[in-house]
Amino acid sequence: MSDQPLKGQKALVTGASSGIGAGVALALAAAGADVVVNYVSSLAGAQQVVDEIKAQGQNAIAVKADVASPDEVQAMFDEMMGAFGAIDILVNNAGLQQDAPFTEMTLAQWNKVISTNLTGMFLCTQHAVKAMLARGIVPGLSRCAGKVICMSSVHEVIPWAGHANYAASKGGVKLFMQTLAQELAPHRIRVNSIGPGAIQTPINRAAWDTPEALASLLKLIPYGRIGVPADIGSAAVWLASDAADYVNGQTLFVDGGMTLYPEFADGG
């Protein structure tokens, strides 16, 4: 892969004001892409990512939109087209948790997680794919007409007690992604997922911010360390690049081995 495999390409990363989304936005920019940094509440966080990208010499803008709102998503794409004129890479990253034991989970908690984590991907991907289809392949820019990367989770395969809404959303992402990959391949649009394990971000602070919590988390990670957003950023760059041109409909787990049934290492 060249130093800047995404040179000249335009990317949108949803939920990019912190955590994994911020790490992915920075990595795509370092690989040569201009980036729309979407956020829903933290303008300050998004602006910091934009400033860092600009300091590296790429273009970036912060755009506020709740990915679950059709009108806000429409406005975000209008703004991106106005500013950048195209979309080559969509990273559906925006996601959240609202955890509760199943019998206590409210319908509002269920709906909030499904609408952000799953319906948000539907809305953003539909806009992106329409634009990719309308433009087609640009010779010299990329071998395909567009790339969609869905931020899934190890919980698209690992059931997770106390997180029925979140696990259901990620299970949904799996077949959403695979179905689109099958449907859009003839148009040379690649659709893949990244399945992060435990990455040190605000979403899972309780799992790493005390030595006891971290020690118990590490029992689930054979590789022996918690992940960082840059681990996901480099996976996103590769998946978006022509180096992965024959990769379609896959979930790339970036999890230090969390999906390897670590409890069987000395059991079973």
Positions touching ligand BGC (CB under 6 A) are 97, 153-155, 197-198, 203-204, 207
- Shortest Å, Cβ 117 to ligand BGC: 10
Secondary structure of residue 18 in the 3-state scheme? coil
What six digits make up the tokens of 205? 């602070």
- On whether the CB atoms of residues 36 and 11 are closer than 8 A, the answer is yes
Q: Could you tell me the sign of the dihedral formed by the alpha carbons of 247, 245, 78, 97, in that order?
A: positive
- Shortest Å, Cβ 152 to ligand BGC: 8
- Shortest Å, Cβ 145 to ligand BGC: 30
Nearer to ligand BGC, 127 or 170 (CB): 170
Closest CA to 6 of 109, 87, 81: 87
Q: Tell me which residue has tokens 């709102």.
A: 69
Catalytic site residue from 166, 223, 246, 261: 166
Calculate the alpha carbon distances from 116 to 109, 144, 157, 167, 196 in Å.
11, 28, 19, 13, 18
Kindly provide the residue ranges of all beta strands, DSSP E only, lying in 84-131, ordered along the sequence.
89-92
Nearer to ligand BGC, 34 or 255 (CB): 255
- On whether the CB atoms of residues 92 and 14 are closer than 8 A, the answer is yes
Nearer to ligand BGC, 60 or 198 (CB): 198
Residue 261 annotated as catalytic: no
Nearer to ligand BGC, 81 or 105 (CB): 105
- Shortest Å, Cβ 213 to ligand BGC: 10
- On whether the CB atoms of residues 12 and 35 are closer than 8 A, the answer is yes
CA separation for the pair 29, 31 (Å, rounded) = 5
Residues labelled catalytic: 166
